[in-house]
């Protein structure tokens, strides 16, 4: 008997057994998800080729907020290992199901409140949204080693979070003084636009800001604008909709 790959669940069922639950209206089958994944990877490769970059240097972060734990399990079975979640409390409910998947890493990409830093440090291997020295010190105090990025607010929208660009130098120094935090780079969330070219100036500004501070990693670009982000130097694209479909809040 041949074992399934790690994280792979059998979809066939023996006579009289209970079939697996439906995929709650997101992706209808593993075959469909595999096609979506292949399409996203092809987009990344084409954008990297246009920019004269190696696509191997661009991380595909599968964003699974609001999706069930099954989304992580299915994507894991297809070879993905890096997953992004927006809410500490939501992922706390999924972690018992997916937290032990070998080689999987979970990134917090949503705003982190200081009163949730201890739980976030337990659940996530990467925090992409540090926006204050206070938050950095609280995470460091957890005693857990983790990779971190600084979130920078380049958008004028009130709903967006992040440090002001003028504060980045001081924040870089504060994080580098924290022995448990490994500062990797910067992330940003530009204003939403259906035009994939609209965020280019924001992506370029983040790249220039990272270069000023010797930071190599840039988390920027999503399903709609990942090509623009890659052309401007992104090393991590955060993709949810293009992989799993449009999100549907639980009823």
How does DSSP assign 43-71, residue by residue? HHHHHHHHTT--GGGSEEEEE-TTS-HHH
Distance CA 33, CA 105 (A): 20
Q: Answer yes or no: pTM beyond 0.85.
A: yes
Q: What is the pLDDT of residues 73-86, one digit of tens each?
A: 999 999 999 999 99
> Is the predicted pLDDT of residue 5 greater than 70, yes or no?
no
> Is the predicted pLDDT of residue 4 greater than 90, yes or no?
no
| Domain ranges for the chain | 45-244
Q: Return the DSSP state at 116.
A: G
Burial class from Cβ neighbours inside 10 Å (0-12, 13-18, 19+) for residue 181 reads buried
**What is the pLDDT averaged over residues 20-27?**
53
174 — pLDDT class (breaks 50, 70, 90): very high
The maximal CA–CA distance of the chain, rounded, in angstroms, is 65
What pLDDT does 106 receive? 98
Range scoring the smallest mean pLDDT among 21-25, 48-52, 106-110, 155-159: 21-25
Q: What is the pLDDT of residues 184-236, one digit of tens each?
A: 999 999 998 999 999 999 999 999 999 999 999 999 999 999 999 999 999 99
The strand pairing partners of 194, in sequence order, are none
Distance CA 92, CA 58 (A): 27
**Residue 137 token pair:** 């010190």
Structural contact between residues 115 and 140, judged by C-beta atoms closer than 8 angstroms: no
Question: How far is the CA of 1 from the CAs of 53, 125, 192, in angstroms?
Answer: 42, 35, 50
Structural contact between residues 131 and 162, judged by C-beta atoms closer than 8 angstroms: yes
What pLDDT does 156 receive? 85
181 — pLDDT class (breaks 50, 70, 90): very high
What pLDDT does 157 receive? 81
Q: Which CATH number fits domain 45-244: 3.30.300.30, 3.20.20.10, 3.30.460.40, 3.40.50.1970?
A: 3.20.20.10
Distance CA 19, CA 207 (A): 48
Q: Which of 222, 228, 221, 213 is nearest to 242 (CA)?
A: 222
Average of per-residue pLDDT values in the chain: 90
What pLDDT does 248 receive? 63
Q: Which of 184, 185, 186, 191 is nearest to 225 (CA)?
A: 191
HSE at residue 45, side-chain half, CA atoms within 13 A, is: 6
Helix (H, G, I), strand (E, B) or coil at 98: helix
């Amino acid at each position: 008997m041949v074992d399934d790959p790690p994280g792979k669940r059998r979809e066939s069922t023996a006579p009289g057994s209970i079939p697996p639950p439906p995929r709650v209206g997101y992706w209808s089958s593993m075959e469909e998800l595999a096609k979506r994944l292949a399409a996203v990877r092809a987009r990344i490769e084409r954008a990297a080729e246009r920019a004269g970059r190696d696509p191997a240097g661009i991380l595909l972060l599968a964003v699974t907020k609001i999706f069930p734990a099954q989304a992580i399990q299915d994507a894991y079975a297809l070879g993905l290992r890096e997953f992004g979640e927006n809410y500490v409390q939501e992922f706390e409910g999924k972690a018992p199901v997916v937290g032990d998947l070998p080689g999987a890493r979970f990134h917090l990409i949503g705003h982190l409140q200081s009163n949730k830093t201890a739980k976030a440090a337990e659940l996530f291997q990467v925090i992409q949204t540090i926006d204050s020295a206070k938050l950095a010190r609280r995470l460091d105090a957890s005693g857990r080693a983790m990779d971190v990025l600084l979130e920078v607010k380049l958008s004028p929208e009130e709903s967006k979070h992040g440090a002001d660009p003028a504060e980045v130098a001081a924040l870089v120094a504060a994080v580098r003084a924290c022995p448990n935090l490994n500062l990797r780079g910067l992330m940003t969330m530009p204003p939403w636009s259906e035009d994939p070219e609209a965020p280019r100036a924001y992506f370029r500004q983040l790249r220039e800001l990272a270069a000023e501070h010797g930071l190599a990693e840039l988390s920027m670009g999503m399903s709609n604008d990942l090509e623009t982000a890659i052309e401007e130097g992104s090393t991590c694209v955060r993709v949810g909709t293009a992989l799993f479909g449009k999100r549907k809040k639980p009823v």
